[in-house]
């Protein structure tokens, strides 16, 4: 019977190119393991947007383009967890299955484990791990359950917001939040009616609200139209220095949330809150 590798041995194997041990290393990180990686500046793209607009399909189209260019692409696809079981469907992996079959593509599905902000709690060290293992393009797909959830800016240097023309008034649906923070906006399913109208309404709203010239692209993951232009826009996009303060804030909140959810006394405090034996203020104090 083969002996299980230690976390350090697993990471060493992952750094040497083993995809299986890379998966194991990411699982170890997800479960709290810490590794020291050399200081680096990974290339990261955050992809967010509401459910059903084709984020995963569009990412799959982008993956194919990058792979053709010789890039090694890793995707961290986050799916929501059940609030009761903690499990997740992890459907993004199924939608990207064809792209993930290539040696130059690695897709890892993650459950949020009920971590706030539409992301998993250990995204940052996972990104460092993927970069250290030689992945040149790292994509993070968020749950996208609500566009006020802007935590993606804590982990991605460039943010792509994907929306669709079949959700009625896109501007009314998005309000603010991530719409104002997106570096690029893509209206997917451009083969459907009203797609041009949806793109024009986004452009007009962005100019009126804050004078933004955020690029808006009409694309179709179904037939590939507009994907080449979108890819060039993503490649030429640079990190916004003005976002540093917000990035630091969201990183701090993410770390704070993780510490709270990992607190050994959390379940006991929740039991006491449920029965009414302590107040909410007392619960907060006991978890400090």
Do 265 and 199 fall within a single domain? Answer: no
For tokens 């499990």, name the residue. 87
Do 222 and 265 fall within a single domain? Answer: no
Q: How many domains is the chain partitioned into structurally?
A: 2
Query: pLDDT tens digits for 222-262?
Result: 999 999 999 999 999 876 666 778 778 877 887 787 788 77
Structural domain contains residue 7: no
Do 139 and 37 fall within a single domain? Answer: yes
Structural domain contains residue 98: yes
DSSP 47: E
Is the pLDDT at 11 greater than 90? The verdict is: yes
Helices 123-132 and 244-261: angle between axes, nearest 10 degrees: 110
Do 23 and 42 fall within a single domain? Answer: yes
Question: Mean pLDDT in the chain?
Answer: 81
Do 37 and 61 fall within a single domain? Answer: yes
Task: Note the pLDDT of residue 219.
Answer: 95
CA–CA dist 46, 268 (Å, integer): 36
CATH number, domain at 90? 3.40.50.300
Is the pLDDT at 91 greater than 60? The verdict is: no
Query: pLDDT tens digits for 203-231?
Result: 887 777 666 778 999 999 999 999 999 99
Label residue 26 by pLDDT band (50, 70, 90).
very high
Last residue of a domain, one of 199, 223, 239: 239
CA–CA dist 47, 54 (Å, integer): 11
Do 151 and 279 fall within a single domain? Answer: no
Structural domain contains residue 8: no
Across residues 272-282, what is the average pLDDT? Answer: 92
**Structural domain harbouring 268:** 244-288
User: Could you tell me where the DSSP H helices lie in 34-185?
Assistant: 55-68, 91-95, 97-100, 123-132, 170-174, 178-181
Task: Note the pLDDT of residue 102.
Answer: 67
Structural domain contains residue 6: no
Do 235 and 288 fall within a single domain? Answer: no
Label residue 3 by pLDDT band (50, 70, 90).
very low
Structural domain contains residue 11: no
DSSP 154: G
pTM of this structure: 0.82
Across residues 196-202, what is the average pLDDT? Answer: 85
Do 185 and 79 fall within a single domain? Answer: yes
Structural domain contains residue 261: yes
Strands, sheet with 44-48, edge to edge from the N-terminal-most edge strand: 105-111, 73-79, 137-141, 44-48, 158-163, 184-187, 216-218
Residues above pLDDT 90, as percent of the chain: 41
Structural domain contains residue 230: yes
Structural domain contains residue 271: yes
Residues above pLDDT 70, as percent of the chain: 77
Is the pLDDT at 283 greater than 60? The verdict is: yes
Do 269 and 193 fall within a single domain? Answer: no
Query: pLDDT tens digits for 101-158?
Result: 568 999 998 876 555 555 666 888 999 999 999 999 999 998 765 544 677 878 888 9
Query: pLDDT tens digits for 55-73?
Result: 999 999 999 999 999 999 9
CA–CA dist 162, 168 (Å, integer): 15
CA–CA dist 258, 255 (Å, integer): 5
Do 123 and 251 fall within a single domain? Answer: no
Do 169 and 276 fall within a single domain? Answer: no
CA–CA dist 100, 111 (Å, integer): 18
């Amino acid at each position: 019977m083969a002996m299980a590798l230690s976390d350090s041995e697993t990471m060493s194997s992952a750094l040497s190119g083993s995809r299986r041990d890379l998966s194991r290393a990411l699982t170890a990180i997800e479960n709290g393991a810490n590794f020291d990686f050399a200081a680096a500046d990974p290339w990261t793209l955050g992809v967010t947007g509401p459910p059903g607009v084709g984020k995963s399909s569009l990412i799959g189209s982008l993956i194919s383009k990058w792979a053709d260019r010789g890039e090694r692409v890793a995707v961290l696809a986050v799916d929501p967890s059940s609030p009761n079981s903690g499990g997740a469907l992890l459907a993004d992996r199924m939608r990207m299955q064809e792209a993930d079959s290539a040696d130059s593509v690695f897709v890892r599905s993650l459950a949020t484990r009920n971590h706030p902000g539409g992301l998993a709690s250990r995204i940052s060290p996972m990104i460092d791990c993927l970069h250290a293992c030689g992945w040149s393009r790292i994509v993070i797909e968020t749950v996208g359950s609500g566009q006020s959830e802007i935590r993606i800016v804590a982990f991605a240097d460039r943010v792509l917001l994907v929306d669709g023309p079949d959700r009625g008034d896109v501007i009314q649906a998005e309000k603010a939040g991530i719409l104002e923070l997106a570096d690029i906006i893509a209206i997917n399913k451009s083969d459907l009616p009203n797609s041009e109208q949806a793109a024009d309404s986004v452009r007009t709203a962005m100019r009126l609200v804050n004078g933004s010239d955020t690029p808006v692209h009409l694309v179709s993951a179904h037939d590939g139209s507009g994907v080449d232009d979108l890819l060039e826009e993503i490649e030429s996009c640079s990190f916004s220095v003005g976002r540093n303060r917000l990035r630091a804030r969201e990183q701090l909140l993410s770390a704070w949330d993780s510490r709270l959810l990992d607190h050994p006394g959390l379940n006991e405090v929740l039991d006491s809150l449920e029965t009414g034996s302590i107040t909410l203020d007392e619960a907060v104090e006991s978890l400090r």
